C-alpha cells in the first residue's frame, strides 16, 4: 500500500510516498533521476540496516557513491558538509547527479544543504528513517547546518524531488528516538487540529507499539498538515512560523546543553510544555488545556521539565534564535489546542516565570 | 543621470541602477532595506576607496558592520565564506539584515553565497567596483565559492535586491583589470549582438580611456543582454549556457595556472579566441570573423595565446568543468559574430588541435 501526499509548490512541487517496506522495491526512484550518478549520504547505523536494500532499488547501470558521515547533531557542521561536497567533487559528480539522504534529520538537513549548493543545485531525494524526519524535517524544504553559536543558522530553502516515507524503518529505531518523534506529531495537533490531538490521545499506546495502520495515519496527517502550512508560506515569511511551536524554548535548551543531553524531539517536548505554560500565564490558554498538553507529552514518555539550568542562560540562548527580530523575541503561543499565534507580546518577566517554573509547568 | 535596467524574474525581479558617482549619494539604498542591520563585505583596497562614501549613503540609525576579506580568486573559498558567516553570527545579525557586496567578482560571489545561506537567505545588494563585476558577475544571481578541484563548484542561484552600477568606480581600477573586464563586454557582442561588436570595435579607445558616455553605453548594453538571457533561463537549464562562451577554455587555463597567473577576464579573452579557433576548424565560423574576434581582443590589450602549458593538462581541466555532462564536453561555439550554439560535437582530436595551436589561434 502506498499513499501519496502532494506538496504543491508550483514548479517545485513533489510527492511524499508513504508506505511500508518501500526501501528495496525495484525501480523505487527511477522516475526521479535526471542523470546516471547518485550519492547516498548516510551514517554507520543506518548503513548497516538499509544501504544494501536501497542500492538494490536503484538501476544497475547507475554510478552510485556513498558517503558515511558521523551521527548526531554535533556533527551537522560546515566541516561535515565540506566532506560531502569533497566526495561529490572527487568522484566527479556532475550537475545531473542526485543526492539521496538516507537517515534522520541530521542526515537530511546536511545532505539537503549539499544538494542545494553543489554546482548551484542538484536533484535531492529524502529517505527519512526516523519518526522525527518522517513527519517533520524531511518535508518542507529546509536544509541547514549548525553554527557554533546557534542551530540551523546556515542553510537554504531547497525542495526535494520526492520523499520516500517508509514506516517500516521505525521498527529498527531506538525507542527513545521513536518517542522523540512523537513530540512533533503531538505538535501538529496543538498547532492545527484539535481532532488529531484527540486521536493521538486515544491511539498513543498503538503508536508506541508502531502498529502499522495507526502509524501510517499519524504520519499521513502530520505530513498533510505540514504540507498545507508550507504551501501557504514556503519561505517562512508569515504563517509557517507556527511550525516552530515549542522550538524557541527547545532550541535554547539544546544550545545550553551543548546538543549532547537532549534529543531534538525531547527538547521540543519540553519547549511545548513551556510554551503552554507561558500561554496559560498570559491568560490565553485555559489551565485544563495546558494540562492536557503536558499530560499527553508525559504519557508519550517524554520529559515535561527542563534540565537544571540557569534561566538567564536559557533566555540568552532564546535571544540568539533566528526568530528574534530587532531584539524582540517572537514566540508561538497557544490560544487553545489546535490554535496558535505568533506574538512578541510576552514580557521578559513572564518568560522568566516560565523558565523558573521548572517541575511545575502547566500546573495551576 | 541614472539609468535603470530591469531584470524581470517574477517575484525575484530587481533593477540595476546605472550612473556616475552613485556611491555617496544620500539614501542610496533606503528603499531596499527590510531591517535595521547591514553587513558590508569588501577587501582592503576597495575599503580605502569607497567604504566611507558608502557608509555616508546609509541611514545613521542603522547598525552597520564590515568584514574585510582577502583579495583574489584564491581566497574565494569555503574558509573565507565561513569568516563572513562568523561575522554575521558574532555581531548578531538577524534574518532581516542586508548583506552588501562592495567590490569585484570575488567579493560579489562570496558575499552572495553568504547572503543566500545565512538564516536560509537574507537581503543582498551588489555594488560592483570592477568592470567585470559591473557587466557580468553582479548581474544574474550566480553566487559561488571555489573548490580546490574546480571553480565555482559550490554556490546557489540567488538574486540581489538591487545592483548599484557606479561607473565612477572604474577610474580607480588598475588598467589591467579594466582591460580584463572588456573581455566580457566583447563577449556580449560575439554571443548576441553583432552591431554591439561593431560599436565596441569603433569605440574601443574611448572605452579604455573610460569616457563616461561610451562606458555607460557599454555597461548598459552588456547588462541588457545579460538580463534578457537570464530572464529566459534563470537556472541555466538551456540558453543561459551561451554566457559561458570562452569560459570552458578559460576556466581550464585558470585552474591549470592555479588561479595566480591570469585574471579571470584574461583567461576568458584567451578562451574566446580558442573557441573562435575551434569554431573555425569545425567549418562553422569564417576565418575572417575568427580573425576579427582575435584582433579586437588583442586591441583591447588582452592576451590572445595561452601560457605555455601541457595541452593534456588543460584538456583534463576542461573535463572538470561544470558544463561537462556524462563525460561529454559541451562547448559554446560561434556560427558567426552575434550567434553561438551549445554543442558537444567537437571531437577530442579537434579540441587538441586548438589546444596545440598556441600562438597561431584563428590564423588561416
| Residue B105 pLDDT > 90 | yes
- Tell which wins on pLDDT, A150 or B194: B194
Q: Contact at 8 Å (CB) between B81 and B113?
A: yes
Which residue is closest to A89 within chain B, CA to CA?
B149
Please name every residue paired with B340 in a beta bridge, in sequence order, or none if there are none. B334
| Residue A281 pLDDT > 90 | yes
Using CB atoms within 10 Å of the CB of residue B350, give its burial: 0 to 12 exposed, 13 to 18 middle, 19+ buried: middle
- Tell which wins on pLDDT, A154 or A327: A154
pLDDT for B322 equals: 66
Q: Contact at 8 Å (CB) between B248 and B163?
A: no
Rounded to whole angstroms, how far apart are CA atoms A70 and A76? Answer: 9
Tell me what percent of the residues of chain A surpass a pLDDT of 70: 98
DSSP B249-277: HHHHHHHHTTTTSS-HHHHHHHHHHHHHH
DSSP B274-307: HHHHHHHHTTSS-HHHHHHHHHHHHHTT---S--
pLDDT for B8 equals: 92
B217 is annotated as an active-site residue: no
- Average pLDDT taken over every residue of chain B: 94
pLDDT in tens, A196-248: 999 999 999 999 999 999 999 999 999 999 999 999 998 888 899 999 999 99
Which residue is closest to B121 within chain A, CA to CA?
A156
Contacting B with CB below 8 Å, chain A residues are 35-36, 78, 82, 85-86, 89-90, 92, 94-96, 113, 116-121, 142-144, 147, 149-150, 153-157, 235-236, 320, 322, 324-326
The closest of A252, A221, A133 to A181, measured between CA atoms, is A133
pLDDT in tens, B271-313: 999 999 999 999 999 999 999 999 999 999 999 999 999 999 9
pTM above the 0.90 mark?
Answer: yes
Grid cell in block for residue B194: 553583432
CA dihedral A277, A283, A286, A288 (to 10 degrees): 40
pLDDT for A259 equals: 81
| Distance to chain B for A39, nearest Cα, Å | 15
| Residue B1 pLDDT > 80 | no
Q: Which are the contacts of A168, defined by CB distance < 8 A and separation ≥ 6?
A: A20, A21, A22, A23
CA distances from A263 to A136, A139, A253 (A): 14, 19, 10
A150 and B235: CB-CB below 8 Å? no
Residues of chain A positioned with their CB less than 8 A from the CB of B113: 117
Domains and CATH numbers, chain B: 2-172 (3.40.50.1970), 175-360 (1.20.1090.10)
| Distance to chain A for B229, nearest Cα, Å | 18
Q: How confident is the model at residue B148 (pLDDT cuts 50, 70, 90)?
A: confident
- Check A236, A254, A292, A330 and give the catalytic one: A236
Residues of chain B positioned with their CB less than 8 A from the CB of A86: 147
Of A95, A147, A155, the CB nearest to B120: A155
- Check B226, B281, B323, B330 and give the catalytic one: B226
Q: How confident is the model at residue A31 (pLDDT cuts 50, 70, 90)?
A: very high
pLDDT for B324 equals: 64
Rounded to whole angstroms, how far apart are CA atoms B116 and B110? Answer: 10
Q: How confident is the model at residue B325 (pLDDT cuts 50, 70, 90)?
A: low
pLDDT for B319 equals: 85
Pairing relationship of beta strands B150-157 and A150-157 according to DSSP bridges: unpaired
Pairing relationship of beta strands B14-19 and B2-7 according to DSSP bridges: antiparallel
pLDDT for B259 equals: 82
Q: Which are the contacts of A50, defined by CB distance < 8 A and separation ≥ 6?
A: A23, A42, A102, A127, A129, A169
Cell 577554455 belongs to residue: B249
Q: How confident is the model at residue A100 (pLDDT cuts 50, 70, 90)?
A: very high
Tell me what percent of the residues of chain B surpass a pLDDT of 90: 89
| Residue B90 pLDDT > 70 | yes
- Check A76, A161, A264, A292 and give the catalytic one: A264
Which residue is closest to B37 within chain A, CA to CA?
A326
| Residue A1 pLDDT > 60 | no
Backbone angles phi, psi at B184, to 5 degrees: -70, -35
Residues of chain A positioned with their CB less than 8 A from the CB of B95: 322, 325
**Interval B318-341 mean pLDDT:** 84
pLDDT for B150 equals: 82
Residues of chain A positioned with their CB less than 8 A from the CB of B329: none
The closest of B108, B103, B109, B1 to B54, measured between CA atoms, is B103
**Interval B149-171 mean pLDDT:** 95
A326 and B78: CB-CB below 8 Å? no
Rounded to whole angstroms, how far apart are CA atoms A78 and B304? Answer: 40
Rounded to whole angstroms, how far apart are CA atoms B171 and B169? Answer: 5
Please name every residue paired with A336 in a beta bridge, in sequence order, or none if there are none. A339
Strands (E), chain A: 2-7, 14-19, 37-42, 63-68, 98-103, 123-128, 142-147, 150-157, 162-166, 331-336, 339-343
Using CB atoms within 10 Å of the CB of residue B238, give its burial: 0 to 12 exposed, 13 to 18 middle, 19+ buried: exposed
Contacting A with CB below 8 Å, chain B residues are 35-36, 78, 82, 85-86, 89-90, 92, 94-96, 113, 116-121, 142, 144, 147, 149-150, 153-157, 235-236, 320, 322, 324-326
- Average pLDDT taken over every residue of chain A: 94
Amino acid at each position: 500500500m502506498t499513499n501519496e501526499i502532494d506538496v504543491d509548490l508550483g514548479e517545485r512541487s513533489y510527492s511524499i510516498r508513504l508506505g511500508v517496506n518501500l526501501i528495496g522495491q525495484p525501480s523505487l526512484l527511477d522516475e526521479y533521476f535526471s542523470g546516471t550518478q547518485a550519492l547516498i549520504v548516510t551514517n554507520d547505523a543506518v548503513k548497516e540496516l538499509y544501504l544494501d536494500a536501497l542500492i538494490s532499488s536503484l538501476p544497475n547501470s547507475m554510478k552510485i557513491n556513498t558517503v558515511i558521515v558521523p551521527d548526531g547533531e554535533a556533527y551537522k557542521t560546515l566541516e561535515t558538509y565540506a566532506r560531502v561536497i569533497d566526495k561529490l567533487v572527487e568522484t566527479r559528480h556532475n550537475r545531473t547527479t542526485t543526492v539521496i539522504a538516507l537517515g534522520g534529520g541530521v542526515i537530511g538537513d546536511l545532505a539537503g544543504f549539499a544538494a542545494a549548493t553543489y554546482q548551484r543545485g542538484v536533484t535531492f531525494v529524502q529517505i527519512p528513517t526516523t519518526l522525527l524526519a518522517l513527519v517533520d524535517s524531511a518535508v518542507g524544504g529546509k536544509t541547514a547546518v549548525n553554527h557554533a553559536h546557534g542551530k540551523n543558522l546556515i542553510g537554504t530553502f531547497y525542495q526535494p524531488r520526492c520523499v520516500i516515507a517508509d514506516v517500516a524503518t521505525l521498527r529498527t529505531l531506538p525507542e527513545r528516538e521513536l518517542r522523540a518523534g512523537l513530540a512533533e506529531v503531538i505538535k501538529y495537533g496543538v498547532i492545527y487540529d484539535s481532532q488529531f490531538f484527540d486521536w493521538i490521545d486515544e491511539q498513543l499506546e498503538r503508536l508506541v507499539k508502531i502498529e502499522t495502520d495507526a502509524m501510517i495515519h499519524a504520519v499521513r496527517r502530520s505530513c498533510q498538515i505540514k504540507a498545507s502550512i508550507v504551501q501557504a508560506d514556503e519561505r517562512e515569511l508569515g504563517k509557517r512560523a507556527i511550525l516552530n511551536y515549542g522550538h524557541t524554548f527547545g532550541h535554547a535548551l539544546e544550545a545550553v546543553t551543548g546538543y549532547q543531553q537532549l534529543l531534538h524531539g525531547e527538547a521540543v517536548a519540553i519547549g511545548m510544555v513551556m510554551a503552554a505554560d507561558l500561554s496559560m500565564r498570559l491568560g490565553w490558554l485555559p489551565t485544563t488545556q495546558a494540562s492536557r498538553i503536558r499530560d499527553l507529552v508525559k504519557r508519550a514518555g517524554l520529559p515535561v521539565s527542563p534540565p537544571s539550568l540557569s534561566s538567564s542562560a536559557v533566555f540568552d540562548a532564546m535571544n540568539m534564535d533566528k526568530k528574534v527580530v530587532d531584539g524582540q523575541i517572537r514566540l508561538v503561543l497557544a490560544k487553545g489546542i489546535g490554535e496558535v499565534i505568533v506574538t512578541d507580546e510576552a514580557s521578559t518577566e513572564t518568560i522568566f516565570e516560565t523558565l523558573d517554573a521548572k517541575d511545575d509547568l502547566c500546573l495551576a
